[in-house]
Amino acid sequence: MRNLLFFILLTLLAPRLICAQVSTQLDKTNPKHTYLTARFHGGLVVPHHANMMYFIEDFSGGFEISYGRSLFSKESWESYFNYPEIGIGFYYGTFGNRDIYGSGLALFPYINYNIHRSKKLSIQNKVSMGIGYATKPFDIETNTYNTVFSSHLNAYIGLALLMDYRLSKHFSLASSLSLTHLSNGAARKPNHGINTLTASIGAKYHFNENPTPILEKIEAPKSNERDIIIVGSVGRSQSTPYNESLYWNGSLSISHLWHLSKKRAIGVGFDQFYSETAPYSWEAYEESDEEVNFSTRHYLFNGLFTSYNVFLGKTTLFVNIGAYLHTNIKPPQPIYPRMGIRHYLTKNLIANFSVKASFFRSEFLEFGLGYRIKYKTKDKA
């Protein structure tokens, strides 16, 4: 899932690239604008593995429907990001060979950051991540040529450059250039993942007749807040395509965050991992005979990491870069990335989804719960 790292990094960095706009009057009686958008996609599958070249026979096509809203309120967290559009979408697409790769469906939340916005023209970059479904995954007996994904359920990632032009009070012409990615994060193997590059044309319906407000981005207030975040997560993954066993993986992560503002935080922390998959996918298994037996000590390893966090209301996007402190088998690299999404269920209770990787290769997906201990809450003046 190398595109997952790109997705998170783009999401974290995009707010810093947003252009300021000329301010116009805000309609305080109706600050929320809502939209329904339909786009038809056409393009191609990007063959990032050599064997895919032999099986791609057609172009990729599909459609997308989304419902979103922009909240033009200076008191909302959206004001720190130049009032993006957020919403939920559905996507259907084909992969260039229906017999081998089938087609894919996805349900996903998204956020559209504004690059340029006037009363009629809007240019945005879109990032989305959700649940995908592949109709024809790898099967050891009936579909061995499909090495891109081996499970029906997958993670879906979408990146896009959007351009909308307002034609009337209620309709805009909607176009885009999109890159989508579907894979299961090594939960099942083989798992090369599949990428599609498409252009689209469609229409956007504005439920509000009023022109889009053009407001200046508000700088996020600086903060002295300090948090301790404790998160426990678990997941399962497959070691090789021809070993159908699923192995348990888990982690306990403790981090300290220094809030730079209401928008960003940096941190350091400690990871304790338990991975039954690691000995079979790391170098130790490749250098040993097939009868080797691993014990609990081979499954345990730990590391220190640095963290970068962006706050989108109750949701946090994070990227961690860690270095192993101790392992009983040799890892592929001494440095590991970890990235994901956290959402606050209550004031301090956190739901976690993340991926543990080795360089740009996913090792396992994990789901978990965490708790925040906030011990300093005074903001800077």
What range does the domain containing 11 cover?
2-206
280 plus 350 within the same structural domain: yes
The tens digit of pLDDT for each residue in 268-294 reads 999 999 998 888 777 544 454 555 677
195 plus 237 within the same structural domain: no
Residue that is last in its domain, among 148, 176, 206: 206
> In angstroms, rounded to a whole number, what is the distance separating the alpha carbons of residues 156 and 62?
15
Residue that is last in its domain, among 171, 206, 241: 206
332 plus 288 within the same structural domain: yes
> In angstroms, rounded to a whole number, what is the distance separating the alpha carbons of residues 254 and 333?
22
Determine, yes or no, domain membership for 216. Answer: no
193 plus 326 within the same structural domain: no
Q: Is the pLDDT assigned to residue 87 strictly greater than 90?
A: yes
CA atoms within 13 A on the CB side of 283: 9
54 plus 124 within the same structural domain: yes
Residue that is last in its domain, among 178, 206, 234: 206
61 plus 200 within the same structural domain: yes
Total number of domains in the chain: 2
**Mean pLDDT value of segment 97-105:** 91
151 plus 271 within the same structural domain: no
CATH number for the domain that contains residue 337: 2.40.160
186 plus 244 within the same structural domain: no
CATH number for the domain that contains residue 106: 2.40.160.20
> In angstroms, rounded to a whole number, what is the distance separating the alpha carbons of residues 80 and 57?
46
pLDDT at 213: 84
Token reading at 268: 């350091």
The tens digit of pLDDT for each residue in 190-215 reads 777 888 999 999 999 999 988 888 88
